């Protein structure tokens, strides 16, 4: 574990109902010198946050009792907790997840499976953006809300590039994966066409041989 570094004393609450996943993230963070606490769902997390406030919350999305979106929303709507950065950790990602995350007020998102270095970069970047916000984002800001709903997301969070850059990176990665799959499909299709051509030629040769035998 790294000691006497800039992360020493920074507490991060990891909210994850899978003990294996929770311990994996704990190991990554403690290796970097962070103090790590664990919660098994959103309700447990809120109780811990109000007793011993963390510097950041990393929360899974799919959990019993209270999921990650609801937890993030509860934190951001509480005036005493709203400045705590929240990173959503999820295995499935699509535009709907990003929309829900923005509406809940999430500061960033991490996609499973993840590399340890990826988690470190996300946490460092999110903490840094919180400690050194752009001057244009300082002070009060209007809230962004959906029709017939209470305001959920401060406008400065939508202006902050962190979660949007994350989404862009994910989109690029998904696009690269799709391109690789498409290239594989094209190669496989070409192989199948060659196989079909070979079979057709073999069949034509066989038909010609059969025709020759009939004429004998």
- Give the helix ranges, DSSP H, for the chain: 19-31, 42-51, 68-76, 95-104, 116-131, 155-159, 162-215
The pTM score is: 0.65
**Are the C-beta atoms of 58 and 110 separated by less than 8 Å?**
yes
| Higher pLDDT, residue 124 or 210 | 124
CATH classification at residue 86: 3.40.50.2300
Are 94 and 189 within one domain? no
Specify whether 29 is located in the same domain as 134.
Answer: yes
Tell me what percent of the residues of the chain surpass a pLDDT of 90.
40
- What mean pLDDT comes out for the span 26-41? 96
pLDDT digits (tens, 9 = 90+) for 143-185: 333 344 444 444 444 444 566 556 656 665 666 666 777 777 8
Query: In this structure, is residue 5 part of a structural domain?
Result: no
Structural domain of 26: 11-160
* Residues 138 and 78 reside in one and the same domain: yes
What's phi and psi for 84, nearest 5 deg? -75, 120
The pLDDT of residue 103: 87
How many domains is the chain partitioned into structurally?
2
């Amino acid at each position: 574990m790294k000691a006497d570094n800039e992360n020493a004393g920074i507490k991060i609450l990891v909210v994850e109902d899978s003990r294996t996943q929770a311990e994996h993230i704990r190991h990554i963070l403690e290796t970097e010198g962070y103090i790590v606490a664990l919660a098994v769902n959103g309700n447990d997390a809120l109780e811990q946050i109000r007793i011993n406030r963390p510097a950041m919350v990393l929360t899974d999305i799919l959990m019993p009792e209270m999921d990650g979106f609801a937890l993030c929303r509860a934190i951001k709507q509480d005036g005493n907790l709203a400045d705590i950065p929240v990173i959503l950790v999820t295995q499935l990602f699509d535009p709907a997840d990003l929309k829900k995350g923005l509406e809940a007020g999430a500061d960033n998102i991490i996609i499973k499976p993840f590399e340890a270095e990826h988690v470190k970069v996300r946490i460092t970047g999110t903490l840094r953006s919180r400690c050194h916000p752009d001057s244009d984002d300082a002070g009060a800001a209007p809230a962004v809300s959906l029709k017939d709903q209470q305001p959920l997301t401060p406008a400065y969070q939508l202006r902050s590039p962190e979660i949007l850059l994350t989404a862009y990176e994910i989109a690029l990665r998904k696009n690269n994966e799709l391109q690789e799959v498409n290239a594989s499909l094209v190669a496989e299709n070409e192989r199948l066409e060659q196989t079909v051509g070979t079979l057709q030629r073999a069949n034509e040769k066989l038909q010609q041989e059969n025709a020759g035998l009939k004429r004998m």
